[in-house]
């Protein structure tokens, strides 16, 4: 019981920011919308679109604004760079390769790379592993491991993972826990969590004051 209480204390702590952190160029928080940022293929850094555009306008030859290497011009070059980063135990590259294997239907390799990436601290890999344990692809179905990886991603500031936890709690009719998760996700800027909170408010699971505070955040 004490262990469960300590776990909840960690689980329901509001992260300072999302798992994306800040852009390494301008040091402003990265948006949770991945269409508004760019993952470099040379050094596996996620930079905001603003810095990417400013670099593209300034440079005659397109170079990475972080490591200053020339951007790959072909898919073959990109794949070669990816494997270099994987060989260097880059968790972001391992997560990328895991996603590539998954898209190709190689779920065993995908699980292997996601697992390595998660052990090295990649938060997106935890969310991918949660889905794989839920669907039983590349690994046997395991609800305990599914929830473990989902919670690890949420604790680290992954808005999607946090919102998913809230939805799981709604299904289990544990609305007090669901609301806590959804408020944390909404505070991180997750629109789906805000809409889910609105439904909870309409059904009487959230007070007017708590709902208004979540909207202000």
DSSP string, 27-77: -PBPPS-GGGEEE-TTT--EEEHHHHHHHHHH-SS-B-TTT-PBPP-SHHH
Residue 23, phi then psi, degrees to nearest 5:
-65, 130
Q: pLDDT tens-digit profile of 51-80?
A: 999 998 987 678 999 999 988 888 899 999
- Give the span between the Cα atoms of 92 and 118, in whole angstroms: 9
- Give the span between the Cα atoms of 74 and 79, in whole angstroms: 9
Q: pLDDT tens-digit profile of 6-59?
A: 999 999 999 999 999 999 999 999 999 999 999 998 899 999 999 999 998 987
Q: Residue 82: pLDDT above 70?
A: yes
User: Residue length, the chain?
Assistant: 217
- Give the span between the Cα atoms of 64 and 150, in whole angstroms: 33
Q: pLDDT tens-digit profile of 92-131?
A: 999 999 999 999 999 999 999 999 999 999 999 999 999 9
């Amino acid at each position: 019981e004490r262990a469960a209480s300590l776990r909840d204390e960690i689980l329901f702590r509001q992260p300072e920011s999302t798992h994306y952190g800040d852009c390494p160029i301008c040091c402003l928080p990265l948006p949770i919308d991945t269409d508004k940022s760019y993952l470099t293929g040379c050094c596996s850094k996620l930079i905001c679109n603003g810095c990417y555009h400013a670099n593209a306008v300034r440079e005659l030859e397109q170079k990475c604004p972080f490591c200053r290497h020339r951007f790959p011009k072909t898919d073959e070059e990109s794949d070669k760079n990816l494997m270099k980063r994987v060989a260097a135990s880059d968790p972001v590259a391992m997560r990328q390769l895991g996603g590539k294997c998954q898209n190709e239907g190689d779920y065993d390799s995908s699980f292997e790379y996601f697992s390595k990436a998660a052990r090295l601290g990649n938060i997106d890999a935890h969310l991918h592993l949660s889905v794989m344990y839920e669907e039983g692809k590349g690994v046997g179905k395991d609800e305990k491991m599914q929830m473990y990886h989902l919670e690890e991603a949420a604790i680290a500031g992954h808005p999607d993972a946090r919102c998913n936890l809230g939805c799981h709690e709604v299904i289990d009719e544990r609305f007090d826990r669901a609301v806590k998760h959804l408020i944390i996700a909404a505070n991180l800027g997750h629109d789906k969590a805000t809409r889910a909170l609105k439904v909870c408010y309409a059904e009487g699971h959230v007070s007017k004051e708590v709902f208004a505070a979540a909207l202000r955040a």
